[in-house]
Amino acid sequence: MGGLTAASVNPNRPHSFFALLNPVVPIRTLWIHRRLLWQFTLRNLEMRHKGSVLGFAWAVLNPLMLLALYLFVFGFIFGGSFHGESRWEYGLGIFLGLSIFHLVAESIAVAPSLITSNPNFVKKVVFPLEILPAAAVGAALIHMAIALVMVLTGVLIGGHSISWSALNVLPIILPIVLIALGLAWTLSALGVFFRDINQLVIASTTGLMFASAIFYPASRVIEKAPWAWPLIRLNPIIHAVEAARDVLIWNRPFAQTNILYLELAGLATAVIGFAAFSRCKRAFADVM
């Protein structure tokens, strides 16, 4: 971090909001500072497990215990079902859905306080502040990757094989990462000006979880509450959860139209979030 200069942090960056809407700008920014991004991602992981005896091992143990809990409670006690699958697969489906949702939830939960909790980066050093929200998403992504490995292991234990089609989960996860990035950039900027935004995020996250078809299939909304479907279908996470289950657990193709919407939503959220953050950060020092 000691080698940063004003030129390296802000290399020919456009100043107008519409110029910042160029998708190349955030990609270039993250690529230029990729080493710093990686360092802060690891820092976030270390801070989360700092002081614990097992350290980073909790990144594996926590999702493993959650997987066992969901399989037992939802799969064997409640005996729920998405499409008539086994209880084991139902538990895996819930765990997979929550793993995708938590990527976004973890990112936006810490976002409102990222800038205000690091005043030295704003006032005393030349630092690419965009890295702080991106590193939070990076740490959440590592946790989700561990959870996905556990889902695949659970599929094998359940007696199913894993084909190369499982790689189709990558174009499903990428838009969710972009959505998490865009929301993290937006909320971290808003958190500087509106300190109550954190309380709003907590309440909204709970509502978002129940609107993401994690505990039920999306088709049930159409069946039970068709009046709500036009609104709920706008939630990109619900399409990612449904598609990921199809690919990883049931080994069947996903709806191409839904994935196209998911990718467009991810790109738009990330680009707009980055542009909003870049415009707002000029006033961070004055407000803080």
Note the pLDDT tens digit of each residue in 204-243: 888 898 888 888 888 888 888 888 888 999 999 999 999 9
62: in domain: yes
Inter-residue contact 140 to 107 (CB < 8 Å): yes
Of the listed ranges 46-60, 146-160, 216-230, 236-250, the least confidently predicted one is: 46-60
For residue 155, give Cα distances in angstroms to 72, 79, 84, 215, 286: 16, 18, 16, 18, 53
207: in domain: yes
Q: What is the pLDDT of residue 84?
A: 74
Place of tokens 């449904």: 242
Which residue blocks in 111-169 are alpha helix, DSSP H? 119-123, 131-157
Count of domains forming the chain: 1
90: in domain: yes
Mean pLDDT within 18-34:
84
Within 10 A of 88 (CB to CB), how many other CB atoms are there? 18
Query: C-alpha angle with apex 173: 37 to 185, nearest 5 degrees?
Result: 45
User: CA-CA distance, 272 to 21, in Å (whole number)?
Assistant: 6
Q: What DSSP letter does each residue of 1-70 carry, written as one string?
A: -TT--HHHHSTT---SHHHHT-THHHHHHHHHTHHHHHHHHHHHHHHHTTT-SSGGGHHHHHHHHHHHHH
21: in domain: yes
Of the listed ranges 11-15, 107-111, 194-198, the least confidently predicted one is: 11-15
Q: What is the pLDDT of residue 59?
A: 67
218: in domain: yes
User: CA-CA distance, 188 to 198, in Å (whole number)?
Assistant: 10
131: in domain: yes
Mean pLDDT within 257-277:
92
Inter-residue contact 154 to 228 (CB < 8 Å): no
> Predicted confidence band at 1 (pLDDT cuts at 50, 70, 90)?
very low
Q: Is the pLDDT of residue 260 over 80?
A: yes
- The residue segments making up the domain with residue 232 are 14-287
Query: Taking the model in full, what pTM does it have?
Result: 0.86
For residue 122, give Cα distances in angstroms to 5, 114, 196, 218: 14, 11, 20, 43
**What is the distance, to the nearest Å, from the Cα of residue 134 to the centroid of all Cα atoms in its chain?**
10
Inter-residue contact 119 to 85 (CB < 8 Å): no
Q: If we measure between CA atoms, which residue out of 140, 100, 104, 108 comes closest to residue 239?
A: 100
92: in domain: yes
Q: What DSSP letter does each residue of 147-162 carry, written as one string?
A: HHHHHHHHHHHTT---
Inter-residue contact 183 to 270 (CB < 8 Å): no
Q: Is the pLDDT of residue 159 over 70?
A: yes
User: CA-CA distance, 224 to 169, in Å (whole number)?
Assistant: 29
Q: What is the pLDDT of residue 133?
A: 95
3: in domain: no
